[in-house]
């Protein structure tokens, strides 16, 4: 299936300022597949080494002699590495001592050799004793499929192409089929294996089995990769995630993890999950001013799973209410919708997302994002409810802001606020993505 990130890889290949590339992302979002596909399509030759499974990699970086490393790769794989014509991929590079540090020397001593490294954030961010080659590498984050990629991958390429046009009037003529596909996406999510199972008509039960297997693999990773003393706390945070999102304001509360829970006890565990890429953290800001990070409140935040399909598996949510969009889904569809919107925004612009709440709790804005040099306050509605009291109050109190409401209603512009259908979230932020590419 096609991924939007492929365009980023093409731009990386053609860049005059190209450096060794690190492709980040949680496990099972498709990093290995994407780099292999890129190597096969775009290069005359392709060298692949899995540093976690191939014993050859254990001593490959015993020193930083780039010439020796390349000769060893050629001897091991039988493939000649040629400048500009070959792609060398080190998968799970963080599992090899000194592997990440070696990227600096590829940049300095072999700048015309195209090097790409894949690795989950589990290892790259937290691998003890590893120095990161700051300024010597390019970085790209791969996330689960967004809604457009899901459409293209499940036989609805014309609908995906229609969304890409950005033509609001034309898009809204297909509103009903798009809403139907959106319900499917709420259940399936964007993990490639789950999407492939659904697209291959393997059935709802098999799709859910795959999602649960992915969730189980993440929990197994806690014990494998996290510091032993943090594993029990990580598990407690992970298990509390769904119940935390069931609250109306979604704010994460330490006391809900366990009675008497405090920040000092769990902040490292939470950061581990964030660094691993399997949860998305949305911090509160106290002022809607660029740059938003200047006004971050580290004591107030929300945590969402990286994928709405995995969220459904974690909550053991029945498929029927989600796919049918009936009243049985009403009680928890708000949390699913916020998780969906967040993942779409992150995939489209790959920059941080925040939220706002007044100190007296009279006004709360679901998300605040930077779009270019502007701050955009975002309200999320799970249905066609067009009441936006908090958003209107917030926009009126901050001159120069224009609100965005994501809902099931068609496109409309009310001057102070623009309504964008939920199925077009990523397209609204596509300008930011295209600027990066």
Please give the Cα distance from 437 to 8 (Å, whole number).
6
Which of 383, 409, 379 has the alpha carbon at shortest distance from 394?
379
Locus of tokens 């034309």? 170
273-287 residue pLDDT tens:
998 899 999 999 999
Average pLDDT of every residue of the chain: 91
Q: pLDDT tens, 240-255? A: 999 999 887 889 999 9
The band of 316, judged by pLDDT with boundaries at 50, 70 and 90, is: very high
- Nearest 5°: phi and psi at 360? -95, 10
The first and second tokens of residue 198, run together, are: 């659904």
Predicted local confidence at residue 132, as pLDDT: 78
Give the span between the Cα atoms of 405 and 225, in whole angstroms: 40
- How many beta carbons lie within 10 A of that of residue 152, not counting itself? 21
Q: Minimum mean pLDDT among 105-119, 167-181, 190-204, 345-359: which range?
A: 345-359
pLDDT at 433 over 50: no
Mean pLDDT of 31-36: 97
Res 349: pLDDT: 82
Please state, as a whole number, how many other Cβ atoms lie within 10 Å of the Cβ of residue 370. 18
Residue labelled with tokens 């589990």: 122
Averaged pLDDT for residues 85-95? 94
Q: In Å, how far from its chain's centre is CA 290?
A: 23
| pLDDT tens string 228-244 | 999 999 999 999 999 99
Given a cut of 60, whether residue 122 has pLDDT beyond it is no
Of all residues in the chain, the percent with pLDDT exceeding 70 is: 94
Is residue 125 pLDDT above 70, yes or no? no
pTM, whole model, 2 decimals? Answer: 0.92
Helix intervals (H) in 367-429: 389-397, 425-428
More confident residue, 411 or 386: 411
pLDDT of the residue at 140? 93
pLDDT at 329 over 70: no
Asked whether residue 181 carries a pLDDT value surpassing 80, the answer given is: yes
Give the residue from 225, 27, 52 showing the smallest Cα distance to 126. 225
Q: Which residues contact 293 (CB under 8 A, 6 or more apart)?
A: 352
pLDDT above 90 as % of the chain: 76
pLDDT at residue 129 in the model: 53
Please count the other Cβ atoms lying within 10 Å of the Cβ belonging to residue 346: 23
What is the secondary structure of 50-72 as a DSSP string?
A: ETTT-GGGGGTTSS--HHHHHHH
pLDDT at residue 124 is higher than 80: no
Domains and CATH numbers, the chain: 5-141 (3.40.50.300), 147-436 (no CATH)
Strand-pair category, 364-371 with 354-357: antiparallel
pLDDT of 189 = 97
The pLDDT, as a whole number, for residue 327 is 56
């Amino acid at each position: 299936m096609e991924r939007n990130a492929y365009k980023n890889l093409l731009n990386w290949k053609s860049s005059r300022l190209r450096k060794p590339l690190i492709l980040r992302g949680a496990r099972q979002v498709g990093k290995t597949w994407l780099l292999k596909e890129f190597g096969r399509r775009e290069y005359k030759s392709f060298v692949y080494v899995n540093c976690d499974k191939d014993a050859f990699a254990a001593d490959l970086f015993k020193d930083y002699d780039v010439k020796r490393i390349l000769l060893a790769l050629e001897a091991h794989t039988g493939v000649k590495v040629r400048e500009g014509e070959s792609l060398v991929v080190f998968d799970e590079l963080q599992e090899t001592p000194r592997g990440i540090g070696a990227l600096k020397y590829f940049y300095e001593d072999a700048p015309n050799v195209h090097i790409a490294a894949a690795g989950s954030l589990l290892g790259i961010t937290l691998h003890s004793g590893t120095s990161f080659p700051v300024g010597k590498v390019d970085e790209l984050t791969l996330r689960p499929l967004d809604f457009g990629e899901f459409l293209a991958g499940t036989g609805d390429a014309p609908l995906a192409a229609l969304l890409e046009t950005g033509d609001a009037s034309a898009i809204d003529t297909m509103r009903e089929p798009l809403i139907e596909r959106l319900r499917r996406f709420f259940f399936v999510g964007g993990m490639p294996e789950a999407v492939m199972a659904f697209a291959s008509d393997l059935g709802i039960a098999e799709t859910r089995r795959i999602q649960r297997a992915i969730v189980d693999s993440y929990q197994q990773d806690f014990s494998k990769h996290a510091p032993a003393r943090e594993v029990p706390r990580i598990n407690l945070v992970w298990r509390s995630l769904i119940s935390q999102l069931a609250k109306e304001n979604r704010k994460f509360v330490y006391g809900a993890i366990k009675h008497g829970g405090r920040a000092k006890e769990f902040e490292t565990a939470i950061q581990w999950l964030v660094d691993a890429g399997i949860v998305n953290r949305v911090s509160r800001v106290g002022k809607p001013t660029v740059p938003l990070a200047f006004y971050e409140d580290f004591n107030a935040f929300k945590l969402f799973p990286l994928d709405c399909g995995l969220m459904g598996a974690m909550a053991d949510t029945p498929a029927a209410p989600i796919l049918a969009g009936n009243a049985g889904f009403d009680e928890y569809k708000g949390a699913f919708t916020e998780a969906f919107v967040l993942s779409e925004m992150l995939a489209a612009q790959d920059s941080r997302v925040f939220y706002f709440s007044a100190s007296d709790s009279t006004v709360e804005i679901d998300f605040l994002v930077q779009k270019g040099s502007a701050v955009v306050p975002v309200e999320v509605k799970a249905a066609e409810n067009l009441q936006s009291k908090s958003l209107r109050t917030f926009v009126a109190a901050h001159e120069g802001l224009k609100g965005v409401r994501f809902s099931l209603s068609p496109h409309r512009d009310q001057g102070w606020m623009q309504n964008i259908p939920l199925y077009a979230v990523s397209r609204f932020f596509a300008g930011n993505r295209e600027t990066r590419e």
